[in-house]
Structure 1
Amino acid sequence: MKELNIQRIPTEKLSDSLALSQFAFQYELSLEKQEERRLQYKETENWGAYVDGKLAARLTILDLHTWLYGKRWAMGGIAGVATWPEYRRGGLVSGLLQNALHVMKEQGQTLSFLHPFQFAFYRRFGWETYTETKKYEIPTALLPKLPPQPGHVVRVGEDIELLNSIYSEYASQYNGTLDRDEVWWKQRIFANRKGSAAVYYDTEGRASGYVHYQVKDSVCQIHELVSLNWEATKGLWRFIADHDSMIDKVTLKAPSDDKLPFVLDNPRIKQEIIPYFMARIVDVKRFMEQFPFEKDGAGNGGRLTLRVTDAHASWNNGLFVIEVAADGNARVEAAELLAKDSNDEAACDLACDISTLTAMFMGYQRPSFMNQIERLKGKEGANYLEALIPERATYLPDFF
């Protein structure tokens, strides 16, 4: 019988991890890049499944933070999930994900995000789609035709402090965006997105938007367009349009609630909606205790009983009593934890699995819709929950 052991991948075994990742994701690192990875390596974030002492599968748990309803939340980012072909379909990834849930719970990461190679696969483990992006392709002739704005645009280079000050205010208005730090900007943004950054300043000298873009082969690729108000949006689009003599088209990805086509003279541009990242609530009790419910959404406070099914996190599998005060804060009691194979549906206001719960509380889907498609049981409870969860769009302009 083969011996299976799940443990952190020690730094001295990093070469084994890099070899597996390069094979699985079909890329090749130069010796210089391998040394760079070694210097950046965090042993605490990288886990391996070892079979008879050999690395058979791996994943990373990135220590990240995300914005949710204006609050900063600890989040574990699952990345680099890979298995050697000879060990696939042997339950190794299942074991790694199960271990990751325990680790994230211990680390206080109440949420987890990942980019799926296959949505159905990760749904089996409780992750669910939480965001999508709009991809635009705009011919130069159809770009917004806007008059000069009162402010001005300045190229700023890699001014992380300035750009992050704008980004943070913008990102906190969405659910599921990352709270970036200096290292993330250097290693994830500027290292992977070539080009220029330009900032819009209003007449009072306030930096209220930026565009990070690259012009190559007559295409203007906008990596990110961030705006804090309509004036900055107009100023930045005017700036992009002024590149018309050197480009044939503009491409960009935008939040799902973006309304750019409506303001174009001809809105018939190429648009594509792309399901993007998945999320998972790691610890239901702690999550609910931190969640900013709608103030007075319960009508001077109220009580909700919620039955959660979670086959991979036993601490979530059971009945929760949630008492929401008029100020939106909640007191949560894990009234009864049930065996993972239990089908007991004791009297409760609502019942759903962990993935359904995640989609609703991330703001991606509403309780009324989940009740309609029979993923959330309890009509009256669904109406009650509808009033308790604030409405806010989801977005993630990053990748990991």
Structure 2
Amino acid sequence: MYIHEDEGNQGYIIYFLNGDKMFVREIFYKNINSLKSMLKFIYNHNTQCREVVISSPVNDKIRFILDNPKTSQIKIKPFMMGRIINLENYLKSLDINSNLNLDANVYIEDQFLSENNGVFNIKLNNNKLEVKKVDSDYDGYFTINTMTQLAFSYIDIEEALLINDRKENECSENVIKLFNAIFKKKKNYINEYI
């Protein structure tokens, strides 16, 4: 582990050497000076290592300060899987910070779990969701995979419509407003030590 700290610049890397490669398993920095210091530390190993592999969040800014990005490769490697097992209970467990009172019928397609497959009435009332399966027409349609991506904050409703090749008019305005209140896209970083 290398820790950098001086005059408010803080950061660390967790790394190991394997032959002529350096693997940086985790990198954290508070500002650009911390990052530059750690990159200098890595560079100082250039007599030992011909190649450096850095694992970092997909939104890491390291790619913007590399001197010669042509000699670098950026690969996105998803390593974690998640799935909503019980959609109704998952949605009911959420605390929503919104003063909206909305409801919509959403058809969820789940080819493996019948409890998650069907039309659900999702109602936002007093920062809580009420969810029940109904036998009714629906205002929008999503797969359980898309719902899981929304749940993990990986995408927002606009991206959900795009990747499912849905036009906004195929999904009611209530569904869009409701899902905007429930699901917020975030920059998540979960390392594999968990």
Paired residue secondary structure (1:244): coil
Q: Tell me which amino acid in the other structure corresponds to 1:315.
A: E
CA contact (8 A) 1:222 1:251 kept: yes
What does 1:144-159 correspond to in 2, within 5 Å? none
Q: Measure the CA separation in 2 of the matches of 1:361 and 1:375.
A: 19
Q: Deviations over 1:314-362 (max 9, x none)?
A: 3323333333357xx32222143xxxxxxx7x32332222112112222
Distance apart, 1:229 and its partner CA: 4.4
Paired residue secondary structure (2:55): strand
Sequence identity percentage: 22
| Structure 1 residues 374 and 251: alpha-carbon distance in aligned structure 2, compared to 1, 3 A threshold | closer
- What residue in structure 1 maps to residue 5 of structure 2? 201
2:128 to 323, 330, 334: 330
CA contact (8 A) 1:322 1:330 kept: no
What's the Cα RMSD here? Answer: 3.0
Q: How many residues align?
A: 189
TM-score by length of 2: 0.77
| Structure 1 residues 391 and 365: alpha-carbon distance in aligned structure 2, compared to 1, 3 A threshold | closer
Q: Deviations over 1:338-394 (max 9, x none)?
A: xxxxxx7x3233222211211222222332233234466515345324522212124
2:176 counterpart of 1:383: yes
Distance apart, 1:311 and its partner CA: 3.3
1:219 to 9, 14, 21: 21
- What residue in structure 2 maps to residue 172 of structure 1? none
- What residue in structure 2 maps to residue 256 of structure 1? 58
| Structure 1 residues 356 and 214: alpha-carbon distance in aligned structure 2, compared to 1, 3 A threshold | same
Paired residue secondary structure (2:17): strand
- What residue in structure 1 maps to residue 115 of structure 2? 315
| Structure 1 residues 330 and 228: alpha-carbon distance in aligned structure 2, compared to 1, 3 A threshold | farther
CA contact (8 A) 1:308 1:319 kept: yes
1:362 to 135, 152, 155: 152
Unaligned runs of 5+ in 1: 1-196, 337-343
Q: Tell me which amino acid in the other structure corresponds to 2:176.
A: N
Q: Tell me which amino acid in the other structure corresponds to 2:110.
A: D
If asked which structure has higher relative contact order (CA below 8 Å, sep 6+), I would say: 1
Unaligned runs of 5+ in 2: none
CA contact (8 A) 1:367 1:385 kept: no
Q: Measure the CA separation in 2 of the matches of 1:305 and 1:230.
A: 47
TM-score by length of 1: 0.41
Q: Measure the CA separation in 1 of the matches of 2:116 and 2:165.
A: 17
Q: Measure the CA separation in 1 of the matches of 2:30 and 2:94.
A: 25
Q: Measure the CA separation in 2 of the matches of 1:258 and 1:285.
A: 34
| Structure 1 residues 229 and 289: alpha-carbon distance in aligned structure 2, compared to 1, 3 A threshold | farther
Structure label with greater radius of gyration: 1
| Structure 1 residues 349 and 370: alpha-carbon distance in aligned structure 2, compared to 1, 3 A threshold | same
1:240 to 9, 17, 42: 42
Q: Measure the CA separation in 1 of the matches of 2:50 and 2:11.
A: 24
Q: Measure the CA separation in 1 of the matches of 2:3 and 2:82.
A: 32
